């Protein structure tokens, strides 16, 4: 299949002092898919996502995003490219002194010349798209549940109608029902908005439910890549240990079609 590449990572290396986090990693993300990054604690999952989202410069290597060499751009070009990217941070990263509506409006006020009334309308539309009640718009982050914080952060991430959406541990800290509901929201937004999604997660149920392809990181490199079914059947010992753990097997069984 001739698929359009929207993120192209080539020979990416990342070091923190003497610690090697990524050792010449290469991978591609295709338009319209949900691409998940998994791995053990300290494997550099979030660091890789931040490098792909133009939030952290790698030590060496190349990251191409939407056809542009992300770290060879001028500051102005980089800012323009970032407007096609949305990010949901693990803990929401909402501004505590702003209401939900004001948080969602921040990217619109910073990156567009739209009028205040229209910005407010767009913010309310994004809030509705993420399933938050209308009255939630006037609440502050301290007044929100964990699931509401995730949805508010997601509404802000899609404020500028991005082509590419990054999600860092989207269901972490949520109860099972809230996690299931957020998974369904991610799938519906992907379809409704034509998004390409890159997500970091350790939740096996979420992986089986939403991920089209998954990459497993370990020892600074890519240990395995493919669909969840392909990875669960891998003959590679390192991949097998990760995807055939008791928790992984339980999640697998839960998503086998009846």
pLDDT at 235: 86
pLDDT at 257: 47
* Residue 255 pLDDT greater than 60, yes or no: no
| Phi, psi for 122 (deg, rounded to 5) | -65, -40
pLDDT at 258: 38
Task: Work out the average pLDDT over 105-125.
Answer: 94
* Residue 242 pLDDT greater than 80, yes or no: yes
| Phi, psi for 217 (deg, rounded to 5) | -100, 145
Task: Work out the average pLDDT over 87-106.
Answer: 93
By DSSP bridging, strand 68-69 and strand 221-226 are unpaired
pLDDT at 238: 85
pLDDT at 247: 55
Task: Work out the average pLDDT over 219-244.
Answer: 89
123-139 pLDDT, tens per residue?
A: 999 999 999 999 999 99
pLDDT at 252: 52
29-64 pLDDT, tens per residue?
A: 999 999 999 998 888 999 999 999 999 999 999 999
176-219 pLDDT, tens per residue?
A: 999 999 999 999 999 999 999 999 999 999 999 999 999 999 98
Contact 106, 96 (CB under 8 A): no
128-169 pLDDT, tens per residue?
A: 999 999 999 999 999 999 999 999 999 999 999 999 999 999
**Secondary structure (3-state) at 162:** coil
pLDDT at 245: 59
- In sequence order, the 6+-apart residues with CB closer than 8 A to the CB of 62 are 8, 9, 10, 11, 12, 69, 71
Please, which pLDDT band fits residue 240 given cuts at 50, 70 and 90?
A: confident
Please, which pLDDT band fits residue 99 given cuts at 50, 70 and 90?
A: very high
Name the residue with higher pLDDT: 57 or 253: 57
Total residues found in the chain within this entry:
258
Burial of residue 118 (CB within 10 Å: 0-12, 13-18, 19+) is exposed
Measured CA to CA, the distance from residue 181 to residue 209 in angstroms comes to 11
Report the percent of the chain where pLDDT is more than 90.
Answer: 77
């Amino acid at each position: 299949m001739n698929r359009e590449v929207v993120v192209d990572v080539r020979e990416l290396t990342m070091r923190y002092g003497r610690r090697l986090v990524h050792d010449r990693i290469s991978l591609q993300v295709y338009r319209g898919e949900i691409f998940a990054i998994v791995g053990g604690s300290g494997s550099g999952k979030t660091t890789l996502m931040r490098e792909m989202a133009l939030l952290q410069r790698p030590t060496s290597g190349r990251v191409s995003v939407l056809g542009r060499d992300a770290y060879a751009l001028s500051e102005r070009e980089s800012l323009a490219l970032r407007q096609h990217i949305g990010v949901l941070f693990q803990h929401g990263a909402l501004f505590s002194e702003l209401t939900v509506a004001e948080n969602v409006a921040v990217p619109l006020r910073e990156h567009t010349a739209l009028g205040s009334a229209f910005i407010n309308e767009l913010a309310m539309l994004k809030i509705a798209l993420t399933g938050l009640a209308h009255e939630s718009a006037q609440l502050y982050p301290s007044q929100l549940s964990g699931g509401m914080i995730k949805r508010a952060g997601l509404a802000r991430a899609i404020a500028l109608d991005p082509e590419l959406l990054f999600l860092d541990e989207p269901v972490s800290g949520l109860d099972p029902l809230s996690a299931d509901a957020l998974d369904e929201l991610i799938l519906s937004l992907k379809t409704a908005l034509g998004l390409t999604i890159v997500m970091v997660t350790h939740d096996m149920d979420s992986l089986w439910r939403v991920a089209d392809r998954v990459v497993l990181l370990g020892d600074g490199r890519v240990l395995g890549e493919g669909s969840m079914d392909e990875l669960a059947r891998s003959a590679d010992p390192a991949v097998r240990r990760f995807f055939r753990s008791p928790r992984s097997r339980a999640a697998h069984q839960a998503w086998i079609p009846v």
